[in-house]
Amino acid sequence: RAKENGKNTFHFYAAENNSHSVELLALENSLRRALERNEFVVHYQAKVDLQTQQIIGAEALLRWQHPELGLLSPIHFISLAEETGLIIDIGAWVMQESCKQARRWQTVSADIIRVAVNLSARQFREDGLKDVIADALEDSGLSAGCLELEITESMIMQNAERASDVLQHFRDLGAHVLIDDFGTGYSSLSYLKQFPIDALKIDRSFVRDIPHDADDMAITSAVIAMAKSLNMRVVAEGVETASQLKFLASKGCDQMQGFIFSEPISSDDFYDLLKSVNVARRLNSKMIQDAQ
């Protein structure tokens, strides 16, 4: 197993390797301190509904404002947080912060704006998760219908019985469940259908090479068609170009997320974006109606 891994990644089983352990410990300590020092920030990336062309919500994406290294993407620290268990506290903080910000956005838009929070495998296994979510909703005053939870196929497959219970709890609350990175795991739609799931997010790797890769296009349109027949919404992630947008729209994709609309931005910037885009559009359509 060790052989397969690149030299530059951390190996948690390589405790006998001293330099690694020391480095790891230092990183673990700074990750622990980051929470106390408020070095984590959440950025938000717009989700756009194709039918209405409105922003209907945003995905919360964690960043670490590192004092020396600058703004770090979660790919650099999420797996360490997961291995050390720090993800439990970090995840609870992300949930609190995201719900609080989403509650604030509701004031700028007459539409309901949702926030989507990514859950990690460890969080999903913890008994405390239900309370973390209940507390975040209560403290923020956000309604559960405005909360989306993004999980992966493997989190369900690791313990299907438990996943059933947790997902049903989310459904009963009124929150929405999305399968993130769909297509990269080994589950099938017919298997996932047994669980209370609202939507699939087609992984960016299938979107990236549209319209050049015929296989990716075939897979994408098949997934959209099957999801729709099972009454699941479909969200495409990583949409960057007009031709990707056009293709996905022609296949009936419901929502999109990607740099073509917006990169992940601060909550304040997202608030301004909502104000300028959604309000302007509503004013425009009202002006059009009035003119007719």
Q: Does residue 78 belong to the site contacting ligand C2E (CB under 6 A)?
A: yes
Q: Would you say 238 and 257 are in contact if contact means Cβ atoms under 8 Å apart? A: yes
Residue whose tokens read 């009124």? 174
- Binding residue (CB under 6 A) for ligand C2E from 97, 153, 180, 216: 180
- Binding residue (CB under 6 A) for ligand C2E from 20, 240, 266, 281: 240
Q: Distance between alpha carbon 70 and the CA centroid of its chain, in Å? A: 22
Q: Does residue 133 belong to the site contacting ligand C2E (CB under 6 A)?
A: no
CB-nearer residue toward Mg ion: 153 or 237: 237
User: CA angle 105-109-115, nearest 5°?
Assistant: 40
Q: Which of residues 204-223 bind ligand C2E (CB under 6 A)?
A: 204
Q: Would you say 183 and 156 are in contact if contact means Cβ atoms under 8 Å apart? A: no
227: three-class secondary structure by DSSP:
helix
Q: Comparing C-alpha atoms, which of 166, 112, 181 is closest to residue 144?
A: 112
Phi, psi of 168 (to 5 degrees): -65, -35
Q: Which stretch binds ligand C2E (CB under 6 A): 105-113, 182-190, 217-225, 234-242?
A: 234-242
CB-nearer residue toward ligand C2E: 14 or 249: 249
182: three-class secondary structure by DSSP:
strand
Binding mask 115-144 for Mg ion (x = CB under 5 A): ---x--------------------------
Task: By CB under 5 A, name the binding residues for Mg ion.
Answer: 118, 150, 180-181, 237
Task: By CB under 6 A, name the binding residues for ligand C2E.
Answer: 45, 60-62, 73-75, 78, 91, 94, 118, 120, 150, 180-181, 204, 237-240, 257-259, 264
